[in-house]
Amino acid sequence: MHHGLTRRSLTGLLASSALACALPVRAHSYPSRSLRMVLPVGTGGGGDTLGRVIAEQLSTQIRQPVIVENKPGADGLIAMQSLLSAPADGYTMLLIGPQPMVFNPLLRTNLPYTPTDLVPVIGVSRAWTVLVAAANSRFSTLADLQTAMRKEPEAVSLGTSGLSYQVGATLLGTKMGGRFRHVSYRSFPQILNDLNVGVLDLALVDTTPVVPLAAAGKLRVLASASKEREPVLADVPTVRESGIDFDFALWTALAVRAGTPGEIVRSLEAELRKTLTGNALRDFAQRLGTTRLSPVSGSEIDAEVASGLARFKDPVAEIAAQIGVEKR
């Protein structure tokens, strides 16, 4: 052939041209089939409800099904495995938060993953925690509680559900100059029952299920672990207002597997941002009143993880034995 162009080199050129054409087509056609959203929580909770609302709105927007799969248990490892066993193609998302990205890596040395195995796509929400007691509790204020803790170390029981809350409760005890007698639960209804019958003194929980119970006089909210007073609990002081340097928020984000093509990550982020800033999600968050939508960039979630790993490294190492997690 002329100019030294052989059959083999021509075939190579054609293949290269086909690949070059295929790359933008892949990004342009995504998503061309259903997506999966894996949630590390059971059905019915705040994370599940929010995830399903996002999935419904995203599905309508992209005109593809978004299938929600609940994979609770094992401190998020079951959900994590579901993501990491799927192809890195942007068709499987995982709802993440401090537990899988910060606390698990700090507390365990034999994790089957590292935070770098995931690529945060976009932030979803931020919710503060609250310290609650039974309606007829002997504790009326945080000052009452602090006095009791100093008089009788570990005499005050505190319940939590999930590793993140355990870490938060232990850090709160340290900041208050004492230590709670920790009790672990599988769910909030179990905590509520034990609070009401007097088996449990206190609990550190998500704000969402507390608001209607407090309004009905079924719970007493001693303090909010937020930086400012919660509008839905305007009469409840923050922990900081009592002179204790403590706040504890739980953030969520959606992530995909590392190795997912950058153009697909960007396409998914753009679609999720439209969903999270749309009227349906804003109305949902406003009705809920306890969860702030936080559609920050994936790089900001990376920074949040890095900050959490630095902030909690020493305290978590110190309290690992207290919360019953064997660091191995």
Question: Is 20 within a domain?
Answer: no
Phi, psi values for residue 324, rounded to 5°: 75, 25
Q: Do 178 and 313 have their domain in common?
A: no
Q: Do 133 and 226 have their domain in common?
A: yes
Q: Residue 205, CB half-sphere, CA atoms under 13 Å: how many? A: 31
Burial of 26 (0-12, 13-18, 19+ CB in 10 A): middle
Residue that the structure tokens 């690529």 belong to: 119
Poorest-pLDDT segment among 82-86, 141-145, 184-188: 184-188
Of 242, 267, 296, the last residue of a domain is 242
Q: What length does the chain have? A: 328
Tokens encoding 263: 């153009």
pTM for this predicted structure: 0.79
Average pLDDT over residues 275-288: 92
Q: Do 120 and 133 have their domain in common?
A: no
Question: If pLDDT is split at 50, 70 and 90, which confidence band does 254 have?
Answer: very high
Phi, psi values for residue 19, rounded to 5°: -65, -45
Q: Do 257 and 110 have their domain in common?
A: yes
Q: What is the mean pLDDT of the chain?
A: 87
Total number of domains in the chain: 2
- Angstrom distance (rounded) from CA 253 to CA 94: 8
State the sign of the Cα–Cα–Cα–Cα dihedral 34, 36, 42, 44: negative
Q: Do 51 and 109 have their domain in common?
A: yes
What pLDDT, on a 0 to 100 scale, did the predictor assign at position 35? 98
Poorest-pLDDT segment among 7-21, 73-87, 184-198: 7-21
Q: Do 114 and 255 have their domain in common?
A: yes
For the chain, percent of residues with pLDDT exceeding 70: 88
Question: Is 25 within a domain?
Answer: no
What pLDDT, on a 0 to 100 scale, did the predictor assign at position 20? 43
Tokens encoding 306: 């890095």
What pLDDT, on a 0 to 100 scale, did the predictor assign at position 4? 45
Question: If pLDDT is split at 50, 70 and 90, which confidence band does 312 have?
Answer: confident
Poorest-pLDDT segment among 9-23, 140-154, 204-218: 9-23
Q: Do 266 and 301 have their domain in common?
A: yes
Question: If pLDDT is split at 50, 70 and 90, which confidence band does 282 have?
Answer: very high
Average pLDDT over residues 154-181: 89
Average pLDDT over residues 201-210: 90
Q: What residues contact 47, with CB distance under 8 A and at least 6 apart?
A: 39, 40, 41, 95, 252
Maximum C-alpha span of the chain:
95
Nearest to 219 by CA among 312, 126, 134, 314: 134
206 forms bridges with which residues in the sheet?
Answer: 129
Residue that the structure tokens 């809920």 belong to: 288
What pLDDT, on a 0 to 100 scale, did the predictor assign at position 28? 67
What pLDDT, on a 0 to 100 scale, did the predictor assign at position 19? 43
Which domain range does residue 204 map to? 128-242
CATH number of 158's domain: 3.40.190.10
Question: Is 183 within a domain?
Answer: yes
Q: Do 50 and 69 have their domain in common?
A: yes
Q: Do 265 and 214 have their domain in common?
A: no
121 close to 92: Cβ distance less than 8 angstroms: no
Question: If pLDDT is split at 50, 70 and 90, which confidence band does 16 have?
Answer: very low
Is pLDDT larger for residue 150 or for residue 240? 240
Q: Do 139 and 231 have their domain in common?
A: yes
